[in-house]
Amino acid sequence: MKFKFYRLTILLLVLFVSAEVFPCTSILVSKGASKKGAPMISYSCDGEFHPHLRITPAAKYKPGEMVEIRGWRGVLGKIPQVPETYKVIGLMNEYQLAIGETTFGGRKELISNKGVFHYYPLMRIALQRAKTAREAIKVMTTLVEKHGYRSEGESISIADKHEAWLMEIVGPGKDGIGAIWVAIKIPDGMVSATANMSRIHEFPLNDPENVLYSENVISYAVEHGYYDPEKDGAFSFSKAYNPPTEEQIRYSARRVWSVFRRISPSKKISPEYSNGNTKLKPFDLYIKPDTKLDVRDVIALHRDHYENTKFDMTKDLVSGPFESPDRWRPMKWKVDGKLYAWERPIATQQAGFVYVSESREYVPDEIGGVVWYGMDNPYTNVFVPIYTSVNELPRSYTIGSLKQYTRDSAWWAFNFVANYANLRYSYMIKDIQKVQKEIEDLEFDLQPAIEHTAEYLLRTNKELVDDYLTKYSVENAETIVKKWVALGDFLITKYNDGYIQDEKNRPQEIGYPDKWLKKEAKEKRKQHKLTETRDGDKEL
């Protein structure tokens, strides 16, 4: 068992190191903001890496056993093992506790070179040792207090069957052990979002039911000149430990604004702060949605390129004649010595995986915890339900590498369709979304029947529940991957050499949109203009 755990830790750290370089987006939905009364968090782990979905089995350990905590260059330290650990599927455990994150960086001088824990192993250890969000916060903060924290600033989203919390944490500086942190419970009925920028500003210091923080959260800032109580007014964690820049606001706050403007259109939230004006008031940490959300609503929030706003990424010049919202890195670029940057959307082709967790107190743990998991770009993928009671995972979600394309890998299946669509995006996205909707409609329509059967088995033959939900989760996911491979084959056939095949498989010369042709004709009129045609048509 220890060998499996250590090997898993190494593999997860490969994911961690790859993901750390890139941005992420997380949405937190409190119990009272959920249609089903089930707290939810989402986590888009964005970066150029090939993720593997994994199980960490529950286990029992003997007194004195230790756990190796590994980094990219080897073992960073060892910590005492606990007598019992819980099963973890991805980033959700068997007690319906889920964790996600986004990196906000913060002050570089606060990164410690002595700590044992990077954020990703810290999150995984918490899932193995905690049943609730409060317990997870205690596990993580106790571990870093004793063994040290060595990552950049992180926003960590945590949800259990009753509560959703946002914890922000930074290191204690070079050679330091410990961490500086604050955690806030998202009030019931509210929704929060975070995207690579510290989101916690002022907070009450005497409300332990809703706010937790390290003893040094203010004193450290004062000692290091990050906060002056006489000049700065109320203490702000964000201003002290992640003072925002224009670039960071544009890169991060725009995503938060887009989540908020979609869930609360009645508030008509201005995007002005997300334009990078550091003098304006930041967006609130949380807001009340106009209507309560379910899993499909949260998934839809991750399928966002600012469509139908002035930031719509399908309308830029670089989106081309077929309105592709993808932007190739680097994000920043120069022209004539002036610096520019692309918009950074919520949905991005750089997504490794995206999930939405659902923690339901009204359903037994064997059935209640479900991770809706998608690989690659959320705009063009399919989310599949993986129950936390499963004892096996769909193989296609556990294999593959960036080094070699394979049709056996779920990530490559979704990645191929997403990339091929850029050839004629405005056409192909309709074909993709048609199949996407058919599959997800069926999944959500079937869920009540699947769970009704599981509840019956729980009452009559409990031993079969795990096997039943495993069989459903695995077979459903593998069937979808096969459908997506077939969709890729269909797109290659339909959109070939610039032609589009009609329903009788006859290639049609569709060409370019009229508005694009008019623009091209205006800019290069002499180059393209014809004075005569063989068929008697008017001049072009």
Whether 312 is covered by a domain: the verdict is: no
Do both 468 and 389 map to the same domain?
yes
Do both 80 and 217 map to the same domain?
yes
Specify the amino acid at residue 125.
Answer: I
Do both 69 and 196 map to the same domain?
yes
How far apart are the two ends of the chain, measured CA to CA in Å?
73
- What is the chain's alpha carbon radius of gyration, rounded to the nearest angstrom? 25
Low-confidence spans in the chain with pLDDT less than 50: 1-21, 538-540
Whether 467 is covered by a domain: the verdict is: yes
User: Mean pLDDT over all residues of the chain?
Assistant: 93
CA 223 – CA 357 distance, rounded (Å)? 40
Whether 510 is covered by a domain: the verdict is: no
Write down which residue in 281, 304, 327 finishes a domain: 304
Q: What are the start-end ranges of the H helices in 397-499?
A: 410-420, 425-460, 463-494
Q: What does the pLDDT read at residue 22?
A: 53
Whether 78 is covered by a domain: the verdict is: yes
Q: What does the pLDDT read at residue 289?
A: 98
Do both 295 and 383 map to the same domain?
no
For residue 241, give both structure tokens. Answer: 């430990």
Q: What does the pLDDT read at residue 278?
A: 86
Whether 269 is covered by a domain: the verdict is: yes
Q: What does the pLDDT read at residue 277?
A: 87
pTM, entire model? 0.93
Q: What does the pLDDT read at residue 532?
A: 63
Q: What does the pLDDT read at residue 73?
A: 78
Do both 86 and 227 map to the same domain?
yes
Whether 341 is covered by a domain: the verdict is: no
Backbone φ and ψ for 119, nearest 5 degrees, come out as -65, -35
CA 123 – CA 413 distance, rounded (Å)? 29
Q: Which helix (H) or strand (E) holds 521?
A: helix 514-523
Specify the amino acid at residue 248.
Answer: Q
Taken as a whole, the chain contains a residue count of 540
Do both 247 and 157 map to the same domain?
yes
Q: What does the pLDDT read at residue 20?
A: 40
Task: Write out the residue range of the structural domain in which residue 40 sits.
Answer: 2-304
As a 3-state breakdown, the chain gives helix, strand, coil percent values, each rounded to 5, of 40, 20, 40
Write down which residue in 271, 304, 337 finishes a domain: 304
DSSP-derived secondary structure for 297-364: HHHHHTS-S-TTSTT-TTSSGGGTTTT----PSPSEEEETTEEEE----SS-TTEEEEEEEE--TTS-
Write down which residue in 304, 336, 352 finishes a domain: 304
Write the CB contacts of 246 (distance below 8 Å, at least 6 apart in sequence). Answer: 276, 277, 278
Q: Are strands 84-85 and 59-60 parallel, antiparallel or unpaired?
A: antiparallel
Do both 373 and 226 map to the same domain?
no
Whether 122 is covered by a domain: the verdict is: yes
The per-residue pLDDT for range 177-228, each reduced to its tens digit, is 999 999 999 999 999 999 999 999 999 999 999 999 999 999 999 999 999 9
Do both 198 and 284 map to the same domain?
yes
Do both 245 and 376 map to the same domain?
no
Alpha carbon separation from 28 to 40, 163, 256, 351 (Å, rounded): 6, 10, 11, 19
Do both 257 and 118 map to the same domain?
yes
Q: What does the pLDDT read at residue 535?
A: 57
Do both 42 and 173 map to the same domain?
yes
Whether 181 is covered by a domain: the verdict is: yes
Q: What does the pLDDT read at residue 12?
A: 41
Do both 166 and 257 map to the same domain?
yes
Q: Which helix (H) or strand (E) holds 266?
A: none
